[in-house]
Chain A
Amino acid sequence: MFTAAAVAILVTMVMAIIRAVKGPTFYDRVVAVNMFGTKSLLLIAVLGFLIERPEFLDIALVYALINFVGVIAVMKFFRYSHLGLPHAGDDLGDL
């Protein structure tokens, strides 16, 4: 049961990688990475039950948080080239 789930998740991971490699637009790649993060946390959760350490579920939850914040940061950076408040003008050297 868990083995089948793990294999299915691995197959989905391959598809996400294919989209990240081929993806013609930026957004394809960002969504592919986001989806890959989701798949990796699902795989961690399933692996926890496969190797009989179900507390891996908590780790998968924290991965979900990291993934969420990471993708928001990437999109924000993409929109504003900046992580602080949105601002106008080219301010080189300011991170």
Chain B
Amino acid sequence: MNPVDIFIDIFLLLLMAAVAIAIVRSHLMFAVVMLSGIFSLLAAVLYVHLTAVDVAFTEAAVGAGVSTLLFLATLALTHVNVEEKHKPVRMVPLVIVVATGAMLIWGTLDMPHYGDPEAPANKHVAPRYIQDSPKETGLPNMVTSVLASYRGYDTLGEVVVIFTAGAGVLVILGRGRRRWRPGVKDEDGDNAEEERA
């Protein structure tokens, strides 16, 4: 990695830290929602810089897009816009959080470097995918062959999970969609007006 890349990475991470501190210290809930959108955008740029483009897409669409809207919807429903005054900093939780973070950083020290071709993750099954997957699956794209063939059951499970989650969300949100119209019976057969009252 050249120095410019490292500088951009460090700068983006510093910005993320600054935004996170601003989120914690903000009184206004609306500002917190907007800042969390910015936080997600920063994370998305970092993922793109790590060439994890698909993860970055998900982060931008879900983190910066949908979850911002969900937060705003929650604010509109709860009508709470100002949080309580700051409490003084409590030392014990701060020490625990800093110690846990330091331990996690220490734990990453003996991990292989980013993109290291000698890393175990790149030695395990990746050479076989690279060399044999066109022959074994007949697919020209290596990622597709892994997702649709080698990990076919895993992908099927993921699709089932997403379908179930989507169906659950539709069941919950669909309830509020029923509109009251005078003289129109709803699906249950009883009068909608009675049900409202």
Residues of B within 8 A of A69 (CB): 65
In the complex, A73→B53 CA distance in Å? 24
Q: Knowing A33-B38, A44-B45, A70-B64, say if A17 contacts B11 (CB, 8 Å).
A: no
Which residues in B have their C-beta under 8 angstroms from that of A6? 4, 8
Which chain B residues lie closer than 8 Å to A37 at the CB level? 41, 64
Residue pairs across A and B with CB atoms within 8 Å: the count is 98
Task: Output the least CB separation between B78 and chain A (Å).
Answer: 10
What separation, in Å, do the CA atoms of A10 and B171 have in the docked complex?
Answer: 43
Tell me the smallest distance from the CB of B108 to a CB of chain A, in Å. Answer: 23
Q: How far is it, in angstroms, between the C-alpha of A69 and the C-alpha of B37 when the chains are bound?
A: 14
Q: Are A94 and B64 in contact (CB under 8 A)?
A: no
Nearest A residue to B77 via CB reads A92
**A36-B38, A40-B42 as given contacts; A83 in contact with B69, CB under 8 Å:** yes
| Residues of A in contact, count (CB < 8 Å) | 43
CB within 8 Å of B: which A12-57 residues: 13-14, 16-17, 20-21, 23, 26, 29-30, 32-33, 36-37, 40, 43-44, 47, 50-51, 53, 56
B6: shortest Cβ distance to chain A, in Å? 12
With contact pairs A21-B31, A29-B31 given, residues A78 and B57 touching in the complex (Cβ less than 8 Å): no
Taking the closest CB of chain B, its distance from the CB of A11, in whole angstroms, is 10
| B1-19 contacts to A (CB < 8 Å) | 4-5, 8, 11-12, 15, 18-19
A1 CA / B58 CA spacing, docked (Å): 30
| Contact A66–B31 (Cβ < 8 Å) | no
Of all chain B residues, the one with the shortest Cβ separation from A93 is B176
Q: Cβ of A61 < 8 Å from any Cβ of B?
A: no
- Which residues of chain B come closer than 8 Å to A67, judged between CB atoms? 64
Residues of B within 8 A of A78 (CB): 72
Chain B residues with a Cβ under 8 A of chain A: 4-5, 8, 11-12, 15, 18-19, 22, 26, 30-31, 34-35, 37-38, 41-42, 44-45, 48-49, 51, 53, 56-57, 60-61, 64-65, 68-69, 72-73, 76-77, 173, 176-177
**Cβ contacts A to B, 29 pairs, < 8 Å:** A3-B4, A10-B12, A21-B26, A29-B34, A30-B34, A33-B34, A33-B38, A37-B64, A40-B41, A40-B45, A44-B45, A44-B48, A50-B5, A50-B8, A53-B51, A56-B53, A59-B48, A59-B53, A59-B57, A62-B57, A63-B44, A66-B64, A70-B37, A70-B64, A70-B69, A73-B65, A74-B68, A77-B69, A95-B173
Report the 8 A-B pairs with minimum CB-CB distance, sorted nearest first. A94-B176, A29-B34, A70-B65, A81-B76, A40-B41, A21-B22, A93-B176, A40-B45
